[in-house]
Chain A
Amino acid sequence: MKVSELVTKTGLKTFNEGADKEIMGVYISDMVSDIVGMKEGNLLITLQTHKNLIAAANLVDVAAVVFSRNRTPADDVVALANKAGIRLLGYDGDTWSLAKKLCELKIA
């Protein structure tokens, strides 16, 4: 499934226009040191909105980043994601309910 299709199906908020990548899987983590070990093409769900998260997400070529629990990235974070072509999305609910939705869509 493409990121754009996920946004349409789940109503996720979008913070920028990034590349419309294919989602190969899902990874949930709030630690940059853990994200560095991710496989490429995953949808990253996190609470972290720090800029070094984008630096790590770019390194492992994520499909997109979803900030759960209504977290909003700062302007400099969005700017770095724009440079890297990383789509930033937002979800009002908690990570678990988003994970369940993604399972129902057979993404995870």
Chain B
Amino acid sequence: MSKAACHHQWTMTNVRPGYLVIEGCFHCRNRISFFSEEAVAPIDDYHEGEHFWSHLSHYQAAQFDLKCEKCDAEVPLKDVMALMLCTKCDPNCGCYAAAIQEPDKKTWVYAALCANTSHSPNKCIAPESLRALNEYFNQGTKDPAKKIAVVPCSLRKSVDTCQGIVLADFGLTDLY
């Protein structure tokens, strides 16, 4: 079967445990995140061009890719740092708008978080990554009224006021 014509049946593959590391620049006040597969999360400050990145926090997390069981198509999801459940805290936010798009459905919006919260390079999660994530998280649901909508985090109005729930393991590494 050609990959283009396939009705994909996605499965998780290449699951990589590690850390979601968040850094901030005191100069431009931007925040970035990256995924580290090192045994201990890196916490060093460093200088990069006009940025001075300092460690803000890190959480145990996992990255994964998706693979179709039928056609072997694979979607790498290295650009997805984590998923975050939208709590519909701000009616002016793009994630809120995505949650109320289909009134006949109970839509749960999960923002796929990319590495750069400022989106200054005008870049967020790739459309093919979002498409595969949406298909994966909706393919098994038994409730026809329920819909999982995975959206890019660039829809989020403000990283500072957002009350979304990030799917990462908070607090487990606080002992270190």
**Chain A residues in the interface with B (C-beta under 8 A):** 19, 21-22, 31-34, 36-37, 39-41, 50-52, 55-56, 58-61, 84-85
Is B62 interfacial (CB 8 A cutoff)? yes
The reply to whether B168 and A32 form a contact with Cβ atoms under 8 Å apart is yes
The reply to whether A61 and B141 form a contact with Cβ atoms under 8 Å apart is yes
The reply to whether A55 and B167 form a contact with Cβ atoms under 8 Å apart is yes
| A36-B83, A58-B108 given; A52·B64 CB < 8 A | no
Per the bound structure, the CA–CA distance linking A14 and B143 in Å amounts to 22
The reply to whether A41 and B60 form a contact with Cβ atoms under 8 Å apart is no
Report the count of interface residues on B (CB-CB < 8 A).
25
Is B12 interfacial (CB 8 A cutoff)? yes
A-B residue pairs, 6 tightest by C-beta: A40-B140, A55-B85, A33-B62, A55-B165, A33-B61, A52-B165
Select B62's contact among A34, A52, A58, A59, beta carbons within 8 Å.
Answer: A34
Shortest beta-carbon distance from A70 to chain B in Å: 20
**Chain B residues in the interface with A (C-beta under 8 A):** 12, 15, 17, 60-62, 64, 83, 85, 108, 110, 137, 140-143, 146, 148, 165-170, 172
Per the bound structure, the CA–CA distance linking A36 and B15 in Å amounts to 11
Q: Which residues of A contact B170 (CB under 8 A)?
A: 50, 52
Per the bound structure, the CA–CA distance linking A39 and B169 in Å amounts to 19
